[in-house]
């Protein structure tokens, strides 16, 4: 199964490469009106900041003849955005920045009738990372101490996260199941709000992305205990990964741009080209390394294959946690 999958990926990648190369030669499509740039999350979170940065880069480097107009549609863990894209009246001028709710929300809400494979694979800009954070006054400096304290406090230990059954919820569920904890999970609107709640000690811990917690980390208010990555992050060299601590678990967030279902091939080629330029810009590269983002640019068939594996993985995770049957 895995072999045939990777073969398929390769073939798809080759085809995609040949096809983008051909399309890149002559731009058959150029936007003729402002491009709606849907953000699958609320204002101030990691996805929002990133989307606005991409928009700014497009403006600054003058990459597109028409502006990107950001629109936050964070309702229902991204369901609002997915439904909006599915019903887009002009798919050639409608693109979206995604989170992992791109995978989980259609799985949890089959009633939305959203098939992510019908979306246009414009480009994956990065994979965001997750760390476990606590406030400096919590009296916890290592993951083991966290486990001991969270266990002792039981149900009154509060983890804040963005939305129900979201990335943060998945990681919290993992911790609860594998370390015999009963942490209480409270969903908030965005990562920015979660960061604020932790800095004000309204909650005990969070699993913010680095971009969301960085400000309070630098000011010394919050400390990272463990990274949910495969290797240590360059920005946090002293923070061990969960793998080092003995659990075979890592988790990333897709930061990708997708086009509305029904986008023409020419338009898709245009946007892939546009966002590969954004990806290569100095501003993006700086943001990426400064916020501990990982992963390379990926588009076309590669990206679709990546979606497929991610969707299967999330299906497993959500089934295990009982979120879906």
- The site for other proteins (CB under 8 A) is made up of 36, 43-44, 48-49, 52-53, 55-57, 59-60, 67, 69-70, 73-77, 79-80, 83-84, 87, 105, 108-109, 155, 158, 163-165, 184, 186-189, 192-193, 195-197, 199-202, 214-216, 218-219, 221, 283, 287
Residue among 185 and 252 whose Cβ is closer to other proteins = 185
Measure the CA–CA gap between 288 and 325, rounded to whole angstroms.
Answer: 37
Residue among 77 and 241 whose Cβ is closer to other proteins = 77
Residue among 138 and 302 whose Cβ is closer to other proteins = 138
Q: Which residue has the tokens 């979120």?
A: 323
Measure the CA–CA gap between 85 and 35, rounded to whole angstroms.
Answer: 13
Residue among 209 and 299 whose Cβ is closer to other proteins = 209
Measure the CA–CA gap between 52 and 59, rounded to whole angstroms.
Answer: 10
Number of helices and strands in the chain (H, E): 11, 10
Q: Which residue has the tokens 């678990």?
A: 249
Q: Contact at 8 Å (CB) between 270 and 299?
A: no
Per DSSP, the three-state class of 257 is strand
List the strands of the sheet with 158-162, edge to edge: 184-188, 158-162, 205-206, 131-135, 222-227
Q: How far is the CB of 223 from other proteins (least distance, A)?
A: 14
* Residue 256 burial (CB count, 10 A): 26
Q: How far is the CB of 156 from other proteins (least distance, A)?
A: 9
Counted residue by residue, the chain has a size of 325
Q: How far is the CB of 76 from other proteins (least distance, A)?
A: 3
Q: How far is the CB of 274 from other proteins (least distance, A)?
A: 16
Measure the CA–CA gap between 296 and 237, rounded to whole angstroms.
Answer: 21
**What secondary structure letter does DSSP report for 235?**
T
Residue among 13 and 183 whose Cβ is closer to other proteins = 183
Residue among 57 and 223 whose Cβ is closer to other proteins = 57
Q: How far is the CB of 135 from other proteins (least distance, A)?
A: 10
Query: Environment class of residue 309 by beta-carbon count within 10 Å: exposed (0-12), middle (13-18) or buried (19+)?
Result: middle
Q: How far is the CB of 323 from other proteins (least distance, A)?
A: 10
Residue among 53 and 239 whose Cβ is closer to other proteins = 53
Q: How far is the CB of 126 from other proteins (least distance, A)?
A: 15
Residue among 52 and 304 whose Cβ is closer to other proteins = 52
Q: How far is the CB of 287 from other proteins (least distance, A)?
A: 8
Which of 151, 128, 149 lies closest to 140 in space, CA to CA? 149
Two structure tokens written together for 11: 């073939």
């Amino acid at each position: 199964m895995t072999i045939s999958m990777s073969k398929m990926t390769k073939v798809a990648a080759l085809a995609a490469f040949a096809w983008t190369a051909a399309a890149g030669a002559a731009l058959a499509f150029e936007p003729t009106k402002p491009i709606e740039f849907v953000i699958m999350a609320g204002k101030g979170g990691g996805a929002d900041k990133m989307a606005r940065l991409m928009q700014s880069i497009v403006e600054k480097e003058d990459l597109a003849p028409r502006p990107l107009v950001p629109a936050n549609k964070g309702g229902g863990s991204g369901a609002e955005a997915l439904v909006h894209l599915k019903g887009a009246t002009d798919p050639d001028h409608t693109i979206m920045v995604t989170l992992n709710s791109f995978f989980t929300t259609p799985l949890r809400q089959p009633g939305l009738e959203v098939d992510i494979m019908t979306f246009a694979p414009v480009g994956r800009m990065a994979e965001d990372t997750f760390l476990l954070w606590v406030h400096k006054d919590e009296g916890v400096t290592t993951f083991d101490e966290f486990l001991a304290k969270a266990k002792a406090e039981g149900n009154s230990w509060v983890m804040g996260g963005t939305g129900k059954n979201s990335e943060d919820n998945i990681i919290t569920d993992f911790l609860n199941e594998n370390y015999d904890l009963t942490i209480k999970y409270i969903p908030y609107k965005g990562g920015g709000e979660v960061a604020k709640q932790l800095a004000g000690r309204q909650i005990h811990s969070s699993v913010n992305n680095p971009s969301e917690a960085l400000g309070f980390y630098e000011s010394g208010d919050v400390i990272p205990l463990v990274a949910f990555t495969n290797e240590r992050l360059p920005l946090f060299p002293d923070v061990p990964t969960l793998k080092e601590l003995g659990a075979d678990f890592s988790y990333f967030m897709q930061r990708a741009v997708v086009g509305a279902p029904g986008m023409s091939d020419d338009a898709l080629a245009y946007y892939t080209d546009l966002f590969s330029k954004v990806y290569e810009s100095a501003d993006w590269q700086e943001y990426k390394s400064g916020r501990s983002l990982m992963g390379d640019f990926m588009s076309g068939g590669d990206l679709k294959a990546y979606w497929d594996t991610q969707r299967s993985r999330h299906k497993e995770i959500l089934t295990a946690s009982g979120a879906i049957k």
